[in-house]
Chain A
Amino acid sequence: MSFDFPLLSLIIWLPIVFGIAVFATGNDRNAQLARWISLVGSILGLLVAIPLYTNFDSATGAMQFIESHVWFERFNVNYHLGVDGISMPLILLNCFITPLVIVAGWEVIKERISQYMGAFLIMSGIVNGVFASLDAILFYVFWEASLIPMFLIIGIWGGPNRVYAAVKFFLYTLLGSLLMLIAFIYLYLISGGSFSIEDYHKLSIPLTPQILIFVAFLLAFAVKVPMWPVHTWLPDAHVEAPTGGSVVLAAILLKLGGYGFLRFSLPITPDASHYLATMMIVLSLIAIVYIGLIALMQVDMKKLIAYSSVAHMGFVTLGFFLLNAYGIEGAMVQMISHGFISGAMFLCVGVLYDRLHSRQIADYGGVVNKMPIFAAFFMLFAMANAGLPGTSGFVGEFMVIMSAMKVNFWYAFLAATTLIFGAAYTLWMYKRVIFGAVASPAVEGLKDISKREFVLLAILAISVLWIGVYPYPLTEVMHTTVDQLLAHVSNSKL
């Protein structure tokens, strides 16, 4: 169907304009104003994204809501936007998470509020831009620009070791992206002067350049996902980031990497993807098994969830490179579900941290006695993190394991160990933090969650259960696109 209104531009620029407005409120004297403007901006950002779902035509795998204008002629770069069944759910996820992050930082952030809120809004717009771009340079600009607000968020409002974490986050990601830029330039030249991603999909490329391009993309996306062995920035960044930063990092920014594989690696270099699929599967399995074991040993709650994120994202890359429909759809569901679950887990840790200013598991114990409502929510999310059937965590993992079974029994076997390890590290942490006798006078003094926190966690709980019980609305929109992608990938481009 035709849709003439520049909806995607609105979805991208509305949060950015609001972000600038929030910056303009200046210093902390106008804190309350800054908070309300950002809340209004983020909710408006979610509302304008709803037509994206209701007007989406799930019968076609082609790009929809297309906008295209010349940006700069010198290199034939266009302001070219559009979404398909892969990017649309991710945009919705991002628009959904942003208001939650704003509310999560409502009282907790006491310094430089306008800058904090503004940075999140601007980042939300930038990330929408990444998902909606159909021009490689436009994509790259948004991709890199998303580093700037996150760098500042970690560095200004983060924990004690924040500078190290912020710089590591920035440089790691920049390393990957710069090589991707060279791949784009190379593609620009062999495509005869086009930066259009859809043109790249049609391009036939010999195997050796394909492998090199694949490796350049791999570095960019593997760092973002993050895959083993380039995951080491993630625990540092997560631990030092403020709660909102961790939520956005886990729920949104990691998805950029996964999205990149689907939009670039698989369709542009399908032969290299087939050629290197085994390597990618092995790397993913290492992430699932080995990182799962590492998570078991963590004493810091945020670090534990960070490692569990790496393991869960291992499922995403595993699903992609099994190269069948179940795998890719399962991986997509896993991405969305991980967005909810990891966001919720970090919010839960944030709730505890705001009260006790400690993330150490050992400092807690017996929290259920003082915070029963919180303990119930935390229970649900912990179960979802462990992949309990009925929660969204189960759907994606189950689909990926099924598809792995089709390819090779041992892949499925190793992937399925996560059901044990995931349950072990999540529930063991839950047990040590929540159950047992009240560990200290500090825990004795804990108050249960406020209305604000209740609303946040309840919204996420509903989402987790909804996708767990009825994932059809989600899989329906991506089905055609994934089929078309697979058909495309199975054709050699040599």
Chain B
Amino acid sequence: MNFIPPDFTPASSEIFMLIMVCVVMLADLTAGDNRRYVAYLLTQTTLLGCALLTFISFSTEITHTFNGMYVDDAMADILKLMVYGTVSAVLVYSHTYISDRGMLKGEFFSLILFATMGMMVMISASHFLTLYIGLELLSLSLYALVALRRESLVATEAAMKFFVLGALASGFLLYGMSMIYGATGTLHVSQLAQIIQSEASNKEVLVVGLVFIVAGISFKLSAAPFHMWAPDVYQGAPTAVTLFIGSAPKLAAFGFVMRLLVEGMGEMSADWQGMLVILAVMSMAIGNIAAIAQTNIKRMLAYSTISHMGFLLLGFISTDSNGYSSALFYVIAYVLMTLGTFAMVMLLCRSGFEAENINDFKGLSKRNSWYAFIALLLMLSLAGIPPMIGFYAKLSVLQAVVNAGYVWLAVVAVLFSLIGAFYYLRIIKLMYFDEPETDEPIKPNSDVKILLSANGLAVLAFGIFPQALMGLSLYAIQSSM
């Protein structure tokens, strides 16, 4: 039998990434005194290289490879480019923070790169096994990252919780996948859609499998009622890691949901639609209401994430490209805001001082009016107030929801975002209306200074000119369906 080598080009960036992870690990062992710096630069170079590779091989049509286990399309490329950008920004933001806390080790960079690779696989997988491998690669790297500060009790506890619940979620997913395999006899996403369409499979088994898969996805997205891990992990992990967990993986999770639910089981949308409605409403309710009670900023942001994930799920309910592209736009906007917000939290940290309490934002406008302004933009955007990007994200999702005939759901969503506005306003109140508790100057490195300012202003600029990102989201979804 002749061996025909598969077409490697669609996976070129993943292959490059894998090689570079090994290089980063080796470089960390061999380079001299400034090896941390070398590792940092190498990591950024890797991301840049991947971005170039993805950009050069940008696919306007859908290409399958490795016997249909892997897919490359416009949505995958766009999501991957966003992931590189996000991870790169995470590294810039967290560089000072981790070096102050003695976490600037080679492992940090290689784990982040492995996680990134996991995300890339998740985004491009078109087979249940590849999806699962990507997910586990991401999750295991994240567990290790959370536990990176071995001596910290909270971090270890958070890592333990994260691991146990994450393993449970993976179990759910695998179980669901096996049910679906039993019903259809295939693990290929594209074949799955055909088999379900031909109604040659056992509907009951399929639905049971679907329930487990949706539960597993909800775990990963931290949608209520599967959200319990998020506040503890967000709080316990070092802020730099929280920033990472809260940002890029959401892009990958979006890709994951698209591949599994939409491409694989789009024919069963009537079944998962109802589940998503419940998940979305619960997430918005629990996220927004519980966030009010938080005094820890990271916990508050965790609950805020939960509520945003609820909003994101609303985009899938309309089950058309209009809705999916709205959800994609929402994810992009969300990642942009989260990056900036956690970077603000880290900005308030100093060596030997962790900004954990919302009171650490007190009087920020008197300590540094520029960063207070940036934080103001970010908070207003999270609350969905125009002209910030967060508003347009909400607008496009609500539009899709109303379009699908769920006017009541749109009303529920805006009422919960009204509740949500309260705790974002509280941060603004602390920054602008209260007196500072310390006059420690805020002096970030110049790269953080530039990036954070750009990040905050981007929230405003993409709000005033939202067409670019909206059009990109629509293009990504339409060209891959």
If A147-B385, A163-B429 touch, does A75 touch B422 (CB 8 Å cutoff)?
Answer: no
Judge whether B470 and A72 touch: CB under 8 Å. yes
Contacts of B386 in A (CB 8 A): 140-141, 144-145
Q: Which single member of B410, B421, B466, B470 contacts A170 (CB below 8 Å)?
A: B421
How far, in Å, is A372 (CB) from chain B's closest CB?
39
Contact, CB under 8 Å: B432 / A152: yes
User: Cβ of A171 and Cβ of B422 under 8 Å apart?
Assistant: yes
Kindly state the separation between the CA atoms of A144 and B369 in the bound complex, as whole angstroms: 23
A171 neighbours in B (Cβ, 8 Å): 418, 421-422, 425
**Given that A72-B470, A185-B398 are known contacts, is A178 also in contact with B433, CB under 8 Å in the complex?**
no
Say how far B457's CB is from chain A's closest CB, in angstroms: 12
* Chain B residue at minimal CB-CB distance from A140: B386
Kindly list the 10 A-B residue pairs having the minimum CB-CB distance in the complex, ordered from nearest: A72-B467, A178-B414, A74-B470, A141-B386, A155-B433, A185-B402, A144-B386, A185-B399, A182-B410, A141-B387
Residues of A within 8 A of B428 (CB): 151
> Which residues on B sit within 8 Å (CB–CB) of A71?
467
Determine if B395 is an interface residue (Cβ-Cβ < 8 Å): yes
Given A72-B465, A174-B418, A137:B395 Cβ within 8 A? yes
Name the CB-closest residue of A to B410. A182
Max chain B Cβ within 10 angstroms of own Cβ: one of A72, A140, A186, A188: A72
Known: A156-B432, A182-B410. 17 other contacts (CB 8 A): A71-B467, A72-B465, A72-B466, A72-B467, A73-B471, A74-B396, A74-B471, A115-B369, A144-B391, A171-B418, A174-B418, A175-B418, A178-B415, A181-B398, A182-B398, A182-B414, A189-B399
For the complex, would chain A's binding face be called helix, strand, loop or mixed by DSSP majority? Answer: helix
Q: A residues touching B (Cβ–Cβ < 8 Å)? A: 27, 71-75, 115, 137, 140-141, 144-145, 147-148, 151-152, 155-156, 162-163, 166-167, 170-171, 174-175, 178-179, 181-182, 185-186, 188-189
How distant is the Cα of A170 from the Cα of B426 in the complex, in angstroms? Answer: 12
How distant is the Cα of A181 from the Cα of B384 in the complex, in angstroms? 12
Say yes or no: is B407 at the interface (Cβ < 8 Å to chain A): yes
Contact A186 B407 (CB under 8 A): yes
Name the interface residues of B400-443: CB closer than 8 Å to any CB of A: 402-403, 407, 410-411, 414-415, 417-418, 421-422, 425-426, 428-429, 432-433
- Of A71, A74, A189, chain B has the most CB atoms within 10 Å of the CB of A74
Q: Do A178 and B402 touch (CB < 8 A)? A: no
Write the chain A residue with the least CB distance to B429: A163
Q: Which residues of B contact A189 (CB under 8 A)?
A: 399, 402-403
A151 to B428, CA, bound (A): 10
Interface pairs (8), CB distance under 8 Å: A71-B467, A73-B467, A144-B385, A148-B380, A167-B426, A178-B415, A181-B414, A182-B414
Checking B369, B387, B396, B418 against A178 with a beta-carbon cut-off of 8 angstroms, the contacting residue is B418
Asked whether any CB of chain A lies closer than 8 Å to the CB of B474, the reply is: yes
Q: Are B432 and A155 interface neighbours, CB within 8 A?
A: yes
Q: List the B residue with the shortest CB-CB distance to A172.
A: B418
Chain A residues within 8 Å of B414, by CB? 178-179, 181-182
B-side contacts of A163, CB under 8 Å: 429, 433
Of all chain A residues, the one with the shortest Cβ separation from B385 is: A144
Q: How far is the CA of A156 from the CA of B402 in the complex (A)?
A: 38
Distance A155 CA – B466 CA, assembled complex (angstroms): 30
Residues of B within 8 A of A152 (CB): 432
Q: Which of A27, A185, A188 has the most CB of B within 10 A?
A: A185
Contact call B425/A170, Cβ cutoff below 8 A:
yes
Given A140-B386, A148-B380, A178-B414, A188-B471 contact (CB < 8 Å): no
Chain A residue at smallest Cβ distance from B405: A189
Q: Do A75 and B418 contact each other (CB < 8 Å), given the known contacts A140-B386, A141-B391, A162-B433?
A: no
Nearest CB in chain A: distance from B375 CB, A: 13
Residues of A within 8 A of B411 (CB): 179, 182
A182 to B415, CA, bound (A): 11
List of B residues within 8 angstroms of A185 by Cβ: 395, 398-399, 402, 410
Report the bound CA distance from A137 to B391 in whole Å.
Answer: 11
Chain B residues with CB below 8 A from A155, complex form: 429, 432-433
Q: Which of A174, A186, A189 has the most CB of B within 10 A?
A: A174
Chain B hits for A186, CB < 8 A? 402, 407
Complex contact B467–A74 (CB within 8 A): yes
B425: chain A residues within 8 A (beta carbon):
151, 167, 170-171
In the bound complex, do residue A156 and residue B433 qualify as a contact, i.e. CB atoms below 8 Å apart? yes
B188 to chain A, nearest CB (A): 33
- Residues of chain B within 8 A (CB-CB) of A175 are 418
**What distance in Å separates the Cβ of B460 from its nearest Cβ neighbour in chain A?**
11
Q: Which among A74, A148, A156 is the interface contact of B385 at CB below 8 angstroms?
A: A148
Inter-chain CA distance A75–B391, complex, in Å, is 14
Q: How far is the CA of A31 from the CA of B398 in the complex (A)?
A: 44
Note all chain A residues with C-beta closer than 8 A to B403. Answer: 189
B426 to chain A: closest residue by CB = A167
Interfacial chain B residues near A182, Cβ < 8 Å: 398, 402, 407, 410-411, 414
Residues of A within 8 A of B471 (CB): 73-74
Cβ–Cβ < 8 Å partners of B474 in chain A? 74
The docked-state distance in angstroms from the alpha carbon of A27 to that of B372 is 14
For the complex formed, measure the closest distance between the CB of B377 and the CB atoms of chain A, giving whole angstroms. 10
- Closest CB-CB distance, A4 to chain B, in whole Å? 24
**Cα(A151)–Cα(B426), bound, Å:** 12
A166 touches B387 (CB 8 A): no
Which of B407, B411, B417 has the largest number of chain A CB atoms within 10 A?
Answer: B407
| Bound-state Cα–Cα, A72 to B387, Å | 13
A174 cross-chain contacts in B, Cβ below 8 A: 385, 418, 421
Complex-state Cα separation, A186 to B396, whole angstroms: 12
